[in-house]
Amino acid sequence: RLEMRRRCTWNIFQSIEYAGEQDQIKLYNFFGYLMDHFTPASSERNLISHIFRTNECCRDTEWESYFCYKSIQVPDSYPGPHLTFPMTFSGVSKLVEAFKHKQQLHARYVLQLLGETCRLLRILPNINCVSICHNKDITICGDLHGHLEDLLLIFYKNGLPSSEKPYVFNGDFVDRGKSSLEILLILFGFLMVYPNDVHINRGNHEDHIVNLRYGFTKEVLGKYRVHGKKILKLLQKIFSGLPLATVIDHKVLIVHGGISDMTDLNMISRVDRHKYVSALRPPKQTQHGVYSTKTQAMNVGEVGGPVEGRRRVCSLTYHGSTSALIHNMPRRSLNCSPTSSRRLNCSLEEELKKRRRLAGFDQSYGEPKKSDSESDPESCETADEQEWKQIVDMLWSDPMPQSGCIPNEVRGGGCYWGPDVTEKVLGRHNLHLLIRSHECKQEGYEFCHNRRVLTIFSASNYYEVGSNRGAYIRMGSDLVPHFSQYQASRTSRELTLRQSVSWTERSALQALRKQLFVHKSVLISAFQEFDPHNTGIISLSHWANATERVLNLALPWRVLRPQLVSSTHFGMVDYKQWIRELSIPEPKSEISDDSILETMYKNHSNLETIFRIIDTDHSGLISFEEFRQTWKLLSSHLKTEISDESIADLAKSIDFNKDGSIDINEFMEAFRLVDLTAHT
């Protein structure tokens, strides 16, 4: 029973996490659609166009002068560490100690260290090849996600990187946690000192578009208000320069996400990885002066998957059938954006409607009706698009127990690949083992595919204190992996198993109740379909069916019912009472329009992402007009109507000092739902 509770808790956390990733990619695809189909002069296109540009100053031969640190003075009162270059082991060790004691590195040193890192990454290959000596092991770490305490614990238990203690860090160093930048600076410092012994792979979160949603952008701008913009721009270049894989002794492949049935390491070794500043969008191909992104079409038909009954959405790189695309599925992702030669200059809503109709779309920007000439999508695929697919698969994919290779429609990117694909790809390249990360595992690691695939995850307490252990791998010349597990939190180490499960279960149920609360209007409508006489009573089966249909989290709702519904009577649920019981104290507000508040709660992360995209100078402030444009973009993305009057009321309610501008952080915090009863 305890193990069942633990697994159920895990499914809740993971389903909510993947739904968020899916929403992120879906929103980015919407922006891509605007870029591909709106006139260059349209105001909506101008708001977001900068996130799709290759970083011009990074491509210019004078990029170093743009990021020059020399004019930045370090005051005598600065209490943090002082760096000297070239970096030494002693210098990086002092940096580790400084971060351990919560000190902040001065912006001059940050830019200098990042600049040196950028120069080194230029000469590294796409795939690092490593050999293990007979007398030393190599250590392999998985996702850290801003959890500096986990990295420090690994170093404490295993030792600092050196020529005698080589490391591979397998991506996803940033986002979610609070110390992402510190982790990067430590890893880059050791890379400078030991370029042949420290190997860093790119993860799917080493992407400036993903960082807008999951916290890294906000972290950098909060810590470095003056020079944060330059730091972020330099990190864009660094992320695109990180190697994509590491191979140990020609037998062990290490990638962040995984593989697909099309994975070709020879192709990967030849790609120009530096041009993929974001892996979420394929290279631009010009057709009659218009960008084409046909490789984004996806199969959203009924395909099997590792989670029974889960409704999946489009993935980044796969094509799909016409019949499947016309169904109105609640969650979608980067879809096909066919080319249209006509340009109209009109409002956002009118433009969307006309573009959908002219391009043969149904009701959504992501649902093309293909002609017979488009029935073979591979025929028009370019070499760049094939490269892009390979990179996305390496960064975003997950293994599944079934044979085959299908779109990863839960995350919205990459694929699910089966044991047959593992055998095929490893056999093709004469490899024995694939080590990947990308998925949180309760024990910190997990084998699958007849022990040919090994997942390693190094951020302990990822979802909640006690939710999972972190782990790292030590591997000698025999290439046999040995695991070390840990909990970075003293609290979690002191909990019994039952206490740990209870703690994380409460947190998971709280997160789930929040999801239910923000969807309450849609839930009521779904319940009423089973209640034609408006009695307020429906069966437990109908309650579970409607709840899953609205949230699409693939959870065992009937099993969860005792934790979510306080009482039932003869297998019937009083859903009106249940909705009232779900209530979470809402922030005090003068907004009279309940629909705009519910939209805001439901799309809190999307809204913050758009705000940070529009805030091009990274000042943390946007004007009333930019605020209005943000809401117009969101309402078009959601295909809902939000009046200008409601938006104006919302803006005025948060403009506390009445200066005509809105502080993004204050706004998002003012309307963040927090249940004060959690963990009490």
Residue 430 pLDDT? 97
| CATH superfamily placement of domain 59-282+389-491 | Metallo-dependent phosphatases (3.60.21.10)
Among residues 106, 147, 199, 205, which one is catalytic? 205
pLDDT of residue 301: 30
Cβ atoms of residues 173 and 186 within 8 Å: no
d(CA 616, CA 598) in angstroms, rounded, equals: 27
Active site residue 519: no
- Report which secondary-structure segment, H or E, holds 348: helix 348-358
Q: Answer with the residue of higher pLDDT: 220 or 610.
A: 220
Q: Is the pLDDT of residue 454 over 90?
A: yes
Averaged pLDDT for residues 93-121: 96
CA distance 145 to 387: 27
Torsion angle, CA of 360/361/365/370, rounded to 10 degrees?
Answer: -70
The confidence score (pLDDT) of residue 44 equals: 60
Q: According to the model, what pLDDT value does residue 317 have?
A: 65
Q: What is the mean pLDDT of residues 119-124?
A: 95
Burial degree of 41 (CB within 10 A; 0-12, 13-18, 19+): exposed
Section 481-486 average pLDDT: 97
Pairwise pLDDT comparison (213 vs 317), residue with the higher score: 213
Secondary structure string (H, E, C) spanning 528-597: HCCCCCCCCEEEHHHHHHHHHHHHCCCCCHHHHHHHHCCCCECCEEEHHHHHHHCCCCCCCCCCCCHHHH
| Residue predicted with more confidence, 463 or 670 | 463
Per residue in 510-528, pLDDT tens?
889 988 988 888 999 999 9
Q: Given this model, what pLDDT does residue 381 score?
A: 64
Say what percent of the chain tops pLDDT 90.
49
C-alpha 255/C-alpha 538 separation (Å) is: 48
Choose the most confident range, by mean pLDDT, from 381-385, 448-452, 666-670. 448-452
Tokens 């998985």, located at residue: 142
Reference 585, options 484, 498, 672, 463; nearest CA is 672
Tell me which residue of 247, 261, 579, 486 sits closest to 390, measured CA to CA.
261
**CA gap 543, 526 in Å, rounded:** 9
Q: Is the pLDDT of residue 337 over 90?
A: no
Residue 478's pLDDT is 95
Q: Bin 400: left if φ > 0, else alpha if -120 < ψ < 50, else beta.
A: beta
Query: How confident is the model at residue 458, as a pLDDT?
Result: 98
The label of the residue with tokens 């392999």 reads 140
State the average pLDDT over residues 430-436.
Answer: 98
Q: Which of 607-611, 645-649, 654-658 has the lowest mean pLDDT?
A: 654-658
For domain 595-671, give the CATH number. 1.10.238.10
In terms of CATH, what superfamily is 1-44+499-584?
EF-hand (1.10.238.10)
pLDDT digits (tens, 9 = 90+) for 256-272: 999 999 999 999 999 99
Q: What is the mean pLDDT of residues 170-196?
A: 97
Q: What pLDDT is stored for residue 586 in this prediction?
A: 54
**Domain boundaries of the chain, sorted by first residue:** 1-44+499-584, 59-282+389-491, 595-671
Q: Residue 57 pLDDT more than 50?
A: no
Higher-scoring residue by pLDDT: 404, 46 = 404
pLDDT at 293 > cutoff 50: no
User: How far does Cα 540 stand from its chain's mean position?
Assistant: 34
Amino acid at 255: V
Measured CA to CA, the distance from residue 421 to residue 272 in angstroms comes to 25
Contacting residues for 353 by C-beta, under 8 A, at least 6 apart:
none
Most confident region among 13-17, 112-116, 581-585 by mean pLDDT: 112-116
Predicted confidence band of residue 607 (pLDDT cuts 50, 70, 90): confident
pLDDT for 241 equals 96
Element (H, E) at 247: strand 245-248
Burial class (CB in 10 A: 0-12, 13-18, 19+), 351: buried
Q: What is the pLDDT of residue 604?
A: 73
Q: Which has more confidence, 592 or 563?
A: 563
Q: What's the rounded mean pLDDT across residues 120-125?
A: 96
Query: Among 335-344, 379-388, 566-575, where is mean pLDDT lowest?
Result: 335-344
Residue 373 has pLDDT above 60, yes or no: no
Mean pLDDT across the chain: 80
Same fold, 1-44+499-584 and 595-671: yes
97-111, 197-211, 338-352, 522-536: segment of lowest average pLDDT: 338-352
- The stretch 148-158 carries a mean pLDDT of 97
